[in-house]
Amino acid sequence: MTGKLNPPLLTAAQAGSLLDQVIFEQVLECIDLDALFRVEQSITMIVGELDGIADDQITETTTVMLDRALLRLPANLRSYLSAAAWPLPDCRLCEANEADERSIKPGRESEVPIRRNRPLRFDS
């Protein structure tokens, strides 16, 4: 098998951008956008019933309120994500990593093969 090597399909920057987009889409799948839309509709209806808010300001007021709440998510989500103890209970990947660490003999860390697990699915 002495064939000609094919050039990479993507540059490093393109691959990084693609990976970033894939991760973004996976995170976005974790968000219930339909529920978020229902919350926005509900807030719009409540704001519309308040005295002193002009009809043309209802949507803008709702958008600002929801945007403020959404902007708080990154910091709050990070605290939820880091609240879990490590290693996670009943986590196959965590158990495999612990087993690998226990099997490494001092001074031979570079000889440990890289583990190639099947991708984990968090939706099942």
Over residues 16-70, the pLDDT tens digits come to 999 999 999 998 888 899 999 999 999 999 999 999 999 999 999 999 999 999 9
Residue 124 has pLDDT above 50, yes or no: no
The rounded mean pLDDT for the chain is: 80
Between 74 and 68, the higher pLDDT residue: 68
| Encoded amino acid at 29, one letter | E
Q: What is the pTM of this model?
A: 0.52
Look at residue 82 in the predicted model and tell me its pLDDT.
64
Instruction: For residue 87, name the pLDDT band (cuts at 50, 70, 90).
Output: low
Calculate mean pLDDT across residues 72-87: 70
- Provide the CB-side half-sphere exposure for 42 (13 A, CA): 6
What's residue 105's pLDDT?
64
Asked whether residue 98 carries a pLDDT value surpassing 50, the answer given is yes
> Pick the residue with more confidence: 107 or 59?
59
Residue 61 backbone phi and psi in degrees, to 5: -65, -45
Confidence of residue 117 (pLDDT cuts 50, 70, 90): very low
Q: Count the Cβ atoms, other than its own, within 10 Å of residue 52.
A: 5
Q: Give the domain ranges of the chain.
A: 12-107
More confident residue, 12 or 110: 12
Burial of 62 (0-12, 13-18, 19+ CB in 10 A): buried
Query: Which has the closest alpha carbon to 62: 53, 71, 52?
Result: 53
